[in-house]
A and B are shown apart, each in its own frame.
Chain A
Amino acid sequence: MKRIFEWTALFLVAFLLQGTIVHAIRIGSIVPDLVVVVLFFLSMKHGAVLGIYVGFLIGLGQDLYSPSILGQNALAKSTVGIFVGLFNDRVMRTDPLLKVVLLFAAFLIHDSVFFGAQLLKNGHELAPLLKELTVRTLPRALYSSAFAALFFFWDTYFKPTFRT
């Protein structure tokens, strides 16, 4: 129960920061996506099943309260959930650098699915979406990965451990 509250609080904080102060650290028009970062942490910690359902619900919430196609974010985030969950800490122990690479890949998958859904729904041409992937997704994935890398390295090398 305590964990549910912790993760709920974490997602709420991520949403709150995403809508407020994250814009203060933007580079050009690129801002890190904290919601995906928190979803990545959750899936990495608790596995694919939880990652899928939480990603689906979070995505669905974003779809309801943002001008996107209903189900677009839900599909993208549940895909991120299953992808990251496959490499979760229970299955394998990944080092921080690999986690950063996985997060980068998660962003690419997220946006690819997101734009794929758009393509499916509206029948846009592929070229503008590919351009969007290159111009926006890559820098955003890089920035978010770099942002999350700080936490990974802190978690691995600097987090104090208490032994009794």
Chain B
Amino acid sequence: MFWILRFIASHRAAFSYILTALLSLWMISSGPVHQAKIARGLTISVFYPFHLALSLSSHVKNIFAENKRLRSEVAALTMRLSRIEEEAAENQRLRQLLDIVETYPYDLVPARVVLREPSNLFRSVVIDAGKKHGISSFMPVIGTKGVAGKVIQVLPGISQVQLLQDPSARTSVMLKENRTVGILETENGREYFVRFRPHVNCAQGDTVLTSGKGGIFPSGLNVGVIKGFKEDTDPLFKRAYIDPFVDFGHLENVFVLRLSPRWSAFRTQVDSIQFENR
């Protein structure tokens, strides 16, 4: 018995080759089902670590590929979502504009704000409606919720609008409740106030409308609500601070009221008088 082992040990190369060759030939000659069984057995025993590493590496590779795909998908969906949100917001704005067109009995020219004065406190904006749309200077401009300003300069395709924020802007307004007239002013473009006599009966929350006395804005357009009172530098007046309806920071769509200033006819007559005097 011992000599057999010694014989094998001394011819181990030959025996090893015979062993592996026989195993190989057995695998080669076996049928497909049997081969599949052997392969499965080898995969889960001898080659399990290798198989595991291979499947892990392919899994990692898949994770990377999936991560890349998901990233690009997230980017695409984010872009799509922001576009949908933008469209929804525009849809809402347009609905509001449609309501305005139906509400106001004026000839309205819709326009979009295309440019803002490049300062922190913009006091004028440029809209994409001009002379060829029938716009002329001093036409009132309203936003979706109320008065925004007036046209001060007109070019063929665009117009410049002076907003209520401009400290040089003055608008004749009145209280909705008791029709008391005053002038809407601002000193810094952030706080709007109207000077009233101290005895005028007004309270916080009262609505302020255009009075129609200034000649530019027709009466009854929304301007804002009184949010508080302060003493004026002139003791004969008190200041009613107004919260405007229009959000000037988010002004995008406006309407120009195609109305000529009511004092233009008067001015023509005055000019002709001056001309006659000369």
Q: Tell me which residues across on chain B come within 8 A of A59, comparing CB atoms.
A: 24
Interface residues of B in 16-40 (CB under 8 A from A): 16-17, 20-21, 23-30, 35, 38-39
B194 to chain A, nearest CB (A): 80
A31 to chain B, nearest CB (A): 21
Is chain A's interface secondary structure helix, strand, loop, or mixed overall?
helix
Q: Tell me which residues across on chain A come within 8 A of B27, comparing CB atoms.
A: 63, 70-71, 74
Q: Tell me which residues across on chain B come within 8 A of A56, comparing CB atoms.
A: 20, 23-24
The 8 A CB mask of A72-99 against B (1 = contact, 0 = none) is: 1011001101100110000000000000
User: In the complex the two chains form, is B28's CB within 8 Å of A53's CB?
Assistant: no
User: In the complex the two chains form, is B42's CB within 8 Å of A69's CB?
Assistant: no
Q: Tell me which residues across on chain A come within 8 A of B26, comparing CB atoms.
A: 71
With A70-B38, A121-B28 known to touch, is A78 a contact of B47 (CB < 8 Å)?
Answer: no
Q: Tell me which residues across on chain A come within 8 A of B132, comparing CB atoms.
A: none
A40 to chain B, nearest CB (A): 16
User: In the complex the two chains form, is A70's CB within 8 Å of B28's CB?
Assistant: yes
Q: Which of A53, A60, A78, A81 contacts B42 (CB 8 A)?
A: A60
Chain A interface category by residue count: 20 to 34
CA distance A79 to B24 in the complex (A): 11
A75 to chain B, nearest CB (A): 4
Q: Tell me which residues across on chain B come within 8 A of A120, comparing CB atoms.
A: 25, 28-29
User: In the complex the two chains form, is B42's CB within 8 Å of A121's CB?
Assistant: no
Interface residues of B in 44-64 (CB under 8 A from A): 46-47, 50, 54
User: In the complex the two chains form, is B24's CB within 8 Å of A74's CB?
Assistant: yes
A71, closest chain B residue (CB) = B27
Is chain B's interface secondary structure helix, strand, loop, or mixed overall?
helix
B16 to chain A, nearest CB (A): 5
Q: Which of A61, A63, A71, A78 contacts B17 (CB 8 A)?
A: A78
Q: Which of B20, B35, B42 contacts A52 (CB 8 A)?
A: B20
CA distance A25 to B16 in the complex (A): 36
Q: Tell me which residues across on chain A come within 8 A of B21, comparing CB atoms.
A: 75, 78-79
User: In the complex the two chains form, is A64's CB within 8 Å of B28's CB?
Assistant: no
Is A117 interfacial (CB-CB < 8 Å)? yes
User: In the complex the two chains form, is B42's CB within 8 Å of A117's CB?
Assistant: no
User: In the complex the two chains form, is A64's CB within 8 Å of B47's CB?
Assistant: yes
CA distance A69 to B39 in the complex (A): 11
User: In the complex the two chains form, is B39's CB within 8 Å of A49's CB?
Assistant: no
Q: Tell me which residues across on chain A come within 8 A of B16, comparing CB atoms.
A: 48-49, 52-53, 82
B53, closest chain A residue (CB) = A12
User: In the complex the two chains form, is A64's CB within 8 Å of B42's CB?
Assistant: yes
Q: Which of A57, A74, A79, A121 contacts B29 (CB 8 A)?
A: A121
Is A162 interfacial (CB-CB < 8 Å)? no
Q: Which of B17, B28, B35, B50 contacts A117 (CB 8 A)?
A: B28
Q: A48-B13, A69-B35 are in contact. List 6 more A-B contacts (CB 8 A).
A: A55-B20, A71-B23, A71-B26, A74-B24, A78-B20, A82-B17
- A sample of 28 inter-chain contacts (CB < 8 A) reads A47-B13, A49-B12, A52-B17, A53-B16, A55-B20, A56-B20, A56-B24, A59-B24, A61-B47, A64-B39, A65-B54, A69-B28, A70-B30, A70-B35, A70-B39, A71-B23, A71-B26, A71-B28, A74-B23, A74-B27, A75-B20, A75-B25, A78-B20, A86-B13, A117-B24, A120-B25, A121-B28, A121-B29
